[in-house]
Structure 1
C-alpha cells in the first residue's frame, strides 16, 4: 500500500467527518479519460495498450496500480481529499494542490475538509509566481554535454519588469540526478538507457545564470511566455506535487525539454506540445514547438562572458590585444610607457578587455588573492576612465535554424559507376548545413544511415554513423581553445577489392585535436592531429591503429557553406589512406539545402578513386 495513504486511512478508521460524494461510475470514467487528468498523472499510451505514467516513483500515486490505471488513481485521489483536516500537511489537498483544484472545478466539490497546508502555503508565497520565461542556454562548442542546448523555466514575480528583479526569480529545472563520479563512457551509456533518475528542482535564477553564462560560457535566450498569472500558478502547484518525485531521464527524449513541455500543458489546458516528440526531444525543436503554439510574446538575449570579452576586444588591433593579455597578467603595466602612450579612449578599451579576460580566466576557480588584487587595480583604472557601452551583436535565434532531422537523396558517380544515395540523420548539424542559428565550426551528428544503390540494382550499406562531433573553435590573441573531433560507426573505405566495385565496410573509432584560426569574418582554417582504430577485413589484425592529420578551410559565402578538407591515416601495418574533399551547400530555404560534393581517395590497397555527388537535404522533424 502506498505510504501516502497510511496516515489518513488510520484517522479515517477512527472517525470520518466528511463523506466522499457518490459519483456515478460513468462520470468517474469520463473524468479519468480527460486529457488534463492524464497530463496531471503524466500518462502516455502503453506500447501494448492501456496507459503508463512517465513517473517511476511509487510515492506519486495513491492507488496501488495508479501508474497504469488513471481511473483507479482518480478514485483514490477523490477519496483522499475527504480525509480529516487534522492530517495537516499530509492531507491529500496539501500534497496534491493541482489535482485538488481540478477535481473541485469538475465535480463542484463544496464540502471538502479545510486542512492547514502550511508547508505548501509558505513555499508558494516564497516563489510568488506571476509569469513564466522559457530559458534556452545555447550550445557551447567546447562542451560536449551542452552541444544540444538546454531548456529551463524562470518563474517571475509581478514586479520583475518594473523593478528589474529577474535575478530574484526562481529557475525551474529538470535534470539527471548523478550520485558520485561516472566516467564519460558510463555517463553517456546510462544517459542513453535511462540509467539516471530525473528530478525537478526550483533554485534561484541567479545560480543558473552563473552556471550557464559564466561557468559554461553559454549564451542565454529568454522567451517570455504569454501565460497568465493563473496559468503560471497552476503549473507551480503541480511542481509541488512533483517535489522529490523521480522520473527516468533519457538524453534524447524524456529529457529536460520534454518534461518542461509537460508542465506547459498543465499551465494551459488543451495545449498539445509533447505529441510532436515521439522519438527525440532536441531542445531547439521544443522551443520551436512552443513558439509555433503562439505562447511567446518577447525574446531577450544575454551574451556569455566569453562573447562579451570578444566583443569588447573586437575594436582593438593585434598589438592592443596582446597588451590587454599582458595587463591581465601584470596590472603594473598600467603605469608603463606602452600603455601610457595610447590615447585615453584606447586605454579605456584595453584595460576593460584586460579586466574581462582576468575575470574570464577566474571562472570556476577558487579565489586567488593575486588575481583579486589585479582585478581591483584594473577596476579602479576603469572607474577613472570608463569605456563606452559594450555592443554585443545578437546572433540568429536558435529556434529559427533548420530542424534537427535530415532526409537525404543524392545521385552521383564513383569512378565511372552511377549511384543513388538515400540517407537519414536523426540529429542534427554538420559543418556544411544551413548555418542560421548555428556557430560556424560546430558539428554534432547522431544516428546517420546512408544506403547506396549502384547500377544493376546493387544495394549496400554505405555508412552508419553512431556519433560525429567536431568543435572547431577559433583561437585568437586572447583565447586559445583546443579544437577537437570524435566519431564512431561503420563506413566504406578503399580496400583490396575496390577495383571489383566492392569497397570494404569497416568499424572505426577516431578522434583528433588541434587548432582553428579565423582568417576573416567568413573564413576559418583548422589543422588537427588524429588517431584511429579500425576493424577491417582486409587487415590481418582484428584492430588496426593509425595516426594521421585532418586540415581544411570553412568558408561562409553568398550561396551557403563551403568546406575544403584534406586528411590522411597512416596505419601501423603500412597501409596509407588519404582523402581530399570539397563540399558546397546551397541554402535553398531554412529547411532545404542542395549539396555538391567531390572526393578523391587514395589507398595503398587500391588505385585513386574519384567521386562526385549532388544531394538534396530536407531538414524535417
Structure 2
C-alpha cells in the first residue's frame, strides 16, 4: 500500500515539475548568453568587459540590473510571465511578446497563465505583417542631415502582396528625436556627437514617400527581402516591445541602419549582420551587407519629385523652359496665340513641366488658393493634351558604389623633398572618388587622417580633418539652388622661416554651380575662414576669399581643377591652384595623381606632386 502511494506521489510530482519548470542555474546562464536573448535585449560587450544594452531607457527593463545583466533580466522576465493575468495589457506577456514566445519555446512553459492582450492583438492585426521591404532614401546634396542617405523598413500585408498598393503599407523607421528649432547644420552636428535620443516609429508608408521624395527631394530604392511571413511577424512582434523606448543615437554608428540590422537579426536568427559594423554603419554599406547575405529578391526605384521635374524639362529648349516658368506663374498664357501656335506635342511637354514646377514650388508652403487654381487649370490642359509617358532611366544602385572607409598610401615630392604618406578616412566620399552610385559634385568626409614620412625618417602629422562637406548642386533654368561647403580640423599651411605649421581652422562658403555639359561642372564660391596660426599675433585670424573650379567626369575617372585664395586681416595672402585626376581601377580601388602650387606671403611658392593608391572598404 505504501509503495503504491509513493509511486503515485512520485508520478504526480513529476507531472507538476513538467508543468511548472524551474530551470536550474546552469540552464538560466546558458539562456542568458544565447545570441537570441542578447539580440532581444540589444546587448553588446564593451571593450572593458561585462554587458551593456544599447537601450537607453529604464522602462525597457524588468530588472534594475537589466541594462548590464542579461541574466538578471531573464530571471525577472520569468517571474513576470507568471504574474496575475488580471494585469491584462500591462502584463509582461503583453508587453514582451517576443520574450514570451522565445522563452515558452526554450523552456516548454506550459504553465503560463492565460492573459488577454487586447491592445497588442488589435495593433498586430492592423499591421497584418506578411513581407518586408528595405527602403533606402538616397542622399540629398543640399541637406546636411540627408547626405549619408537613410534606411527604413516597409511592412506589407497579404492584401498588398496580392493586389494592393504599397501606399497602404506601414513604414518602420528609427530616427533621432529632433527639436523643432534645430536647423539642418545643427542636426548634423548633434547627430555626430550623440546629442539626440532615437526611437522607433510606425506610420503609413505614404507619409514617408511624401517626406523623402517630395519634401526632401530624395530618390527612393525599395529592396524586397526574402523574409517569410513568420520571420516578418517576429520582427513586428519585437517592434511592439520597443514602442516609446529610447536608444542612444549617433549619426556615425548607432543610427537608423544599425538598428534595422538588429531587427533583421531578430527576424532571422543567425544572420550576424551587425558584427560587420564595429565602428561605423553607413546606410549604403548596410544595404550592401543585406544584399551580400542573399536577402534581396527584387529592387524598385522611385525618383524624387525634383528628378521627375528635371527629366520632363530635359527635352525643352531654352525658350521653352522660359515659357514653362512663365506659364507656372500665369496660366492665362495657355490662351496666348504664341503658345497656341506651337506644335501640340511641344505644348504638352511645356504644360506638364509647368505643372510639375508649380507642385514642386508648393512643397513646404501653406496652401494657396491661387496656386491651387493654376494647378487645376494646368491639369485640365494636360488631360486635353497629354504628354508621352515619362521614362526615367534607373541610375546605378547606391550599394554598387565604392565602400565608405578609405586607406591611402602615397609617394610624393614637396619642392624636391621626397615623402611617403599614409592616410585613413572613416567616411565617405570626395569629389574625385570613384563615382558610380554617387552624384557628381557631392562630398562628405569624416575622420580624415594623413601622416607623412619625409627623407631622413622625419614624421609629421599632415592633416586631421574632422568634417568636410561640399554640396555643388548645379543651377537650372527652373531651379536655382545654392552650392556650399564647410570644413574644420587641423592642416599644414605656410609659416615663417620656411616651416610648415599645423593650424586649427574652420572655413565655409557659398555660391553657385553650373553644368556646362553632361560631364563638366563649374563652381564658384565666396569663402570665410578662421584659423589659429602659431606665427600670427592674434589667437584667431579671420580671412575672406574664394574657391572656384571645374570638375570633369572623363573616361578614366574624375578630374578636378581648382583655385582658391584666402586674404587675412593681418595682410597674409594664401593662394592655391591644384589639379587632381582619379583613375578608377576598380569599384573599391583608385589611383590618384595630384599636382599643387601654393603661394604665401610668409614663404616662397611651393610645388607638390603626389601619386596615391586608395583602397575602399567598410
Q: Report the Cα distance in structure 2 between the residues aligned to 1:518 and 1:182, rounded to whole angstroms.
A: 32
Deviation, structure 1 residue 574: 1.6
Q: 1:357 to 1:599 in 2, by over 3 A?
A: same
Q: Are 2:584 and 1:587 aligned?
A: yes
In the alignment, which of 546, 559, 562 is matched to residue 559 of structure 2? 562
Match of 1:9 in 2: none
**Superposition pairs of residues 487-506 of structure 1, within 5 angstroms:** 487-498=487-498, 502-506=499-503
Q: 1:387 to 1:161 in 2, by over 3 A?
A: farther
Deviation, structure 1 residue 185: 6.6
Q: Are 2:609 and 1:612 aligned?
A: yes
Q: Deviations over 1:158-213 (max 9, x none)?
A: 12243232001111011111345246675445423323221111011111110011
Q: Report the Cα distance in structure 2 between the residues aligned to 1:586 and 1:387, rounded to whole angstroms.
A: 42
Q: Report the Cα distance in structure 2 between the residues aligned to 1:419 and 1:348, rounded to whole angstroms.
A: 62
Q: Are 2:531 and 1:516 aligned?
A: no
**Superposition pairs of residues 299-318 of structure 1, within 5 angstroms:** 299-318=299-318
In the alignment, which of 531, 536, 540 is matched to residue 533 of structure 2? 536
Could you say what secondary structure the match of 1:396 adopts?
coil
Q: Report the Cα distance in structure 2 between the residues aligned to 1:429 and 1:65, rounded to whole angstroms.
A: 42
Return 40-49 or 95-104, whichever deviates more: 40-49
Q: Report the Cα distance in structure 2 between the residues aligned to 1:84 and 1:591, rounded to whole angstroms.
A: 59
Could you say what secondary structure the match of 2:530 adopts?
strand
Q: Report the Cα distance in structure 1 between the residues aligned to 2:463 and 2:261, rounded to whole angstroms.
A: 34
Q: Deviations over 1:430-458 (max 9, x none)?
A: 00000000000000001101111111111
**Superposition pairs of residues 570-585 of structure 1, within 5 angstroms:** 570-585=567-582
Q: Report the Cα distance in structure 1 between the residues aligned to 2:450 and 2:142, rounded to whole angstroms.
A: 28
Deviation, structure 1 residue 575: 1.4
**Superposition pairs of residues 64-143 of structure 1, within 5 angstroms:** 64-143=64-143
Deviation, structure 1 residue 231: 0.2
Q: Deviations over 1:363-421 (max 9, x none)?
A: 11110111111101100000000000001121111111001000000001111111111
**Superposition pairs of residues 403-482 of structure 1, within 5 angstroms:** 403-482=403-482
Match of 1:15 in 2: none
Q: Does the Cα contact within 8 Å between 2:144 and 2:185 map onto a contact in 1?
A: no
Could you say what secondary structure the match of 2:496 adopts?
coil
TM-score normalised by L of structure 2: 0.95
Q: 1:252 to 1:175 in 2, by over 3 A?
A: same
Match of 1:525 in 2: 522
Unaligned runs of 5+ in 2: 1-17
Match of 1:603 in 2: 600
Q: Report the Cα distance in structure 1 between the residues aligned to 2:144 and 2:37, rounded to whole angstroms.
A: 38
Q: Report the Cα distance in structure 1 between the residues aligned to 2:397 and 2:404, rounded to whole angstroms.
A: 15
Q: Does the Cα contact within 8 Å between 1:19 and 1:82 map onto a contact in 2?
A: no
Q: Report the Cα distance in structure 2 between the residues aligned to 1:423 and 1:596, rounded to whole angstroms.
A: 15
Q: Does the Cα contact within 8 Å between 1:495 and 1:504 map onto a contact in 2?
A: yes
Q: Deviations over 1:262-321 (max 9, x none)?
A: 000000011101111111111111111111111111111000000000000111111111
Return 539-548 or 148-157, whichever deviates more: 539-548
**Superposition pairs of residues 239-278 of structure 1, within 5 angstroms:** 239-278=239-278
Could you say what secondary structure the match of 1:31 adopts?
helix
Match of 1:168 in 2: 168
Q: Does the Cα contact within 8 Å between 1:199 and 1:247 map onto a contact in 2?
A: yes
Deviation, structure 1 residue 19: 7.9
Q: Does the Cα contact within 8 Å between 1:214 and 1:305 map onto a contact in 2?
A: yes
**Superposition pairs of residues 32-431 of structure 1, within 5 angstroms:** 32-182=32-182, 187-431=187-431
Return 21-30 or 309-318, whichever deviates more: 21-30
Deviation, structure 1 residue 338: 2.5
Q: Does the Cα contact within 8 Å between 2:152 and 2:173 map onto a contact in 1?
A: yes
Could you say what secondary structure the match of 1:481 adopts?
coil
Q: Report the Cα distance in structure 1 between the residues aligned to 2:541 and 2:266, rounded to whole angstroms.
A: 54
Q: Report the Cα distance in structure 1 between the residues aligned to 2:185 and 2:177, rounded to whole angstroms.
A: 17
Q: Report the Cα distance in structure 1 between the residues aligned to 2:311 and 2:109, rounded to whole angstroms.
A: 60
Could you say what secondary structure the match of 2:158 adopts?
coil
Q: Does the Cα contact within 8 Å between 1:20 and 1:82 map onto a contact in 2?
A: no
Q: Deviations over 1:306-364 (max 9, x none)?
A: 00000001111111111111111111111112211210001000000000001001111
Deviation, structure 1 residue 538: 2.0
Q: 1:188 to 1:442 in 2, by over 3 A?
A: closer
Q: Does the Cα contact within 8 Å between 1:475 and 1:481 map onto a contact in 2?
A: yes
Q: Report the Cα distance in structure 1 between the residues aligned to 2:327 and 2:516, rounded to whole angstroms.
A: 26
Q: Report the Cα distance in structure 2 between the residues aligned to 1:432 and 1:338, rounded to whole angstroms.
A: 46
Deviation, structure 1 residue 544: 1.4
Q: Report the Cα distance in structure 2 between the residues aligned to 1:58 and 1:556, rounded to whole angstroms.
A: 52
Q: Does the Cα contact within 8 Å between 2:214 and 2:304 map onto a contact in 1?
A: yes
Q: Deviations over 1:592-616 (max 9, x none)?
A: 0000000011112212111110000
Deviation, structure 1 residue 569: 1.0
Q: Report the Cα distance in structure 2 between the residues aligned to 1:178 and 1:520, rounded to whole angstroms.
A: 39
Q: Report the Cα distance in structure 1 between the residues aligned to 2:397 and 2:140, rounded to whole angstroms.
A: 14
Q: Report the Cα distance in structure 2 between the residues aligned to 1:338 and 1:528, rounded to whole angstroms.
A: 39
Q: Does the Cα contact within 8 Å between 1:497 and 1:503 map onto a contact in 2?
A: no
Q: Does the Cα contact within 8 Å between 2:524 and 2:548 map onto a contact in 1?
A: yes
- Once superposed, which parts of structure 1, at least 4 consecutive aligned residues long, lie more than 6 Å away? none
Match of 2:12 in 1: none
Q: Report the Cα distance in structure 2 between the residues aligned to 1:616 and 1:331, rounded to whole angstroms.
A: 56
Could you say what secondary structure the match of 1:160 adopts?
helix
Could you say what secondary structure the match of 2:133 adopts?
strand
Q: Does the Cα contact within 8 Å between 1:20 and 1:79 map onto a contact in 2?
A: no
Q: Report the Cα distance in structure 1 between the residues aligned to 2:540 and 2:291, rounded to whole angstroms.
A: 49
Could you say what secondary structure the match of 1:291 adopts?
helix
Could you say what secondary structure the match of 1:526 adopts?
strand
Q: How many residues align?
A: 601
RMSD: 1.4
